[in-house]
Amino acid sequence: MSLAVLKSRALAGMEAQEVSVEVHLANGLPAFAIVGLADTEVKEAKDRVRAAIQNGGYEFPAQRITVNLAPADLPKESGRFDLPIALGILAASKQIPSSRLHQYEFAGELSLSGELRPIRGALAMSLATRRDGGTLAFILPLANADEAALVGNAAIYPAQSLLQVCGHFAAKSVESMLSRHESAPLVAQLEYPDFADVKGQVFAKRALEVAAAGNHSVLLVGPPGAGKTMLAARFPGLLPQMTDEEALEAAAVHSLTGNFRIEHWKRRPFRSPHHTSSGVALVGGGSVPRPGEISLAHRGVLFLDELPEFSRSVLDVLREPMESGRITISRAARQADFPAHFQLIAAMNPCPCGYWGHTNGACHCSPDLIRRYQGRVSGPLLDRIDIQVEVAAVDPEILAANANGESSHTIAARVQAATDIQLQRQGKRNQYLNTREIDHYCKPDRPGKAQLKHSMQHFQWSGRAYHRILRVARTIADLAGSENILKAHVSEAVQYRQALRKI
């Protein structure tokens, strides 16, 4: 009778909780049981582990093998437990030394030949090890080494096969052991489309500059071909450069889906789901909760084109995460939290045909039809969008001329300067100011207060709109380098909430 205990991790949303892989060998009829709330993928490890051990030249013990994944009430999924289970069997059967196993954590899916295949969530597991204050090294598949090593001071030991890992523990000298992964200094490849390519649309460009500076959400309303999608695609190039912590958060979310690429390091996510997407696709979910488009846009941009074509119930799921910056997915057996600090950029036509208010007079939509079309976007959601601007059709003469607008680099420099002002003054972007902080940092001068009061009464805006206008006005003042919010700043902020004209 023999026992071996190894450490691994299970994913539960963004959390990667520690799991003890306990392998017990006993006399009796040969059997192989895996217990500890393991799903089908984990239970199928029996056949993968048996073949990998035998193809590696080791003996698979003809005994009663019991593998316990503790804690028993934590759901376990995916093939990441293949490697620790195989090593536990070999250690319990005395085929490899077990004296140093307690110094490591293990994760990796095995092929039948014993090769290690990449796993999901390697970066999230590496982050969890650091946050738990753990000092254990991590043995992972070679394909996951770069992303796991993004966590500072992480001790990552990549391996290509089960045989290589076994050789690490059986090695007589340090030279024969696995080498710690040394990642090369990363150079962020921040290549975005340039705003200089957009002809005309000075008002819309200015609105997007304000949005980038204060992290405000935007709705672009205009006819087909006016440049709404083109503007949105260039918006990430205006945003401030990501900090290391923000980049790690965004990369960890993408790691959960297995789609993180090291060349995307510090590149702002830009997600553009199709209008047929379901609510689950946006917020995430499934029997094993996975992040949705909202979380995949964390620290980046969520672009919703043809906004009214989305189901109204789907759009309304955006309301809570826009306020809280988090998504909580609850299921009968588990609950998962995902971050959702995204910047919403939405685009829509003013009417079903798209040409209401156009100078060509081509629109023949009835007022009732226009109201029903615009009504597909609920009032509570519109109330949460800070900036709503009209993107008019571009004059043919402007289209025929050479593009001579400001480049994204020039605009981004102003955005970065305004962002630095906000962080020095209040420690956060203007979008995240709460009610008390708005009262403290967003006080307009007397003419500005009068202008805001008049606009609130005239347009019958809500209290939420009042606070959002003040946040936008604060951002406009920061872009101008003004310590005080003047009437001109309030007036400009008011203009940014009049895209959907009354019929």
Residues 45 and 106: their CA atoms lie apart, in Å, by 15
pLDDT band at 333; cut points 50, 70, 90? low
3-state class (DSSP) for residue 480:
coil
**Inside any domain, residue 243:** yes
Residues in the chain: 503
131-181 pLDDT per residue, tens: 776 668 899 999 999 889 888 888 899 999 999 999 999 887 777 788 888
52-92 pLDDT per residue, tens: 999 999 999 999 999 999 999 888 988 999 999 999 999 99
- Same domain, yes or no, for 163 and 54? yes
CA-wise closest residue to 303 among 260, 346, 248 = 346
Which CATH number characterizes residue 338's domain?
A: 3.40.50.300
**Inside any domain, residue 383:** yes
Residues 476 and 76: their CA atoms lie apart, in Å, by 49
What pLDDT shows up at residue 265? Answer: 86
Q: Indicate if the pLDDT at residue 1 is higher than 60.
A: no
Contact 82, 109 (CB under 8 A): yes
- Same domain, yes or no, for 315 and 268? yes
176, 205, 235 — which closes off a domain?
176
124, 149, 176 — which closes off a domain?
176
Residues 208 and 421: their CA atoms lie apart, in Å, by 18
What pLDDT shows up at residue 207? Answer: 96
**In b/e form, how buried is each residue of 312-323, taking b as 16+ CB within 10 angstroms?**
eebbebbeebbe
- Same domain, yes or no, for 232 and 307? yes
Residues 346 and 50: their CA atoms lie apart, in Å, by 52
- Same domain, yes or no, for 211 and 359? yes
- Same domain, yes or no, for 208 and 93? no
395, 428, 461 — which closes off a domain?
428
**Inside any domain, residue 31:** yes
- Same domain, yes or no, for 149 and 50? yes
Look up the domain containing 139 and give its range: 2-176
Residues 484 and 474: their CA atoms lie apart, in Å, by 8
Residues 137 and 130: their CA atoms lie apart, in Å, by 11
- Same domain, yes or no, for 244 and 351? yes
**Inside any domain, residue 68:** yes
SS (H, E, C) 266-293: CCCCEECCCCCCCHHHHHEECCCCEECH
What pLDDT shows up at residue 135? Answer: 67
Which CATH number characterizes residue 21's domain?
A: 3.30.230.10
Prediction pTM value: 0.90
- Same domain, yes or no, for 222 and 302? yes
CA-wise closest residue to 211 among 495, 475, 477, 487 = 475
What pLDDT shows up at residue 368? Answer: 92
pLDDT band at 502; cut points 50, 70, 90? low
203-229 pLDDT per residue, tens: 999 999 999 999 999 999 999 988 999
**In b/e form, how buried is each residue of 138-150, taking b as 16+ CB within 10 angstroms?**
bbbbbebbbbbbb
**Inside any domain, residue 11:** yes
- Same domain, yes or no, for 210 and 131? no
What pLDDT shows up at residue 456? Answer: 92
**Inside any domain, residue 462:** no
- Same domain, yes or no, for 251 and 337? yes
**Inside any domain, residue 487:** no
- Same domain, yes or no, for 274 and 159? no
| Mean pLDDT score, 314-339 | 85
φ and ψ at residue 475, rounded to 5 degrees:
-65, -40
Question: Which H/E stretch holds residue 467?
Answer: helix 463-479
3-state class (DSSP) for residue 86:
helix
- Same domain, yes or no, for 160 and 204? no
**Inside any domain, residue 127:** yes
Query: Residue 375: exposed, middle, or buried by beta-carbon count in 10 A (0-12, 13-18, 19+)?
Result: exposed
Domain count, the chain: 2
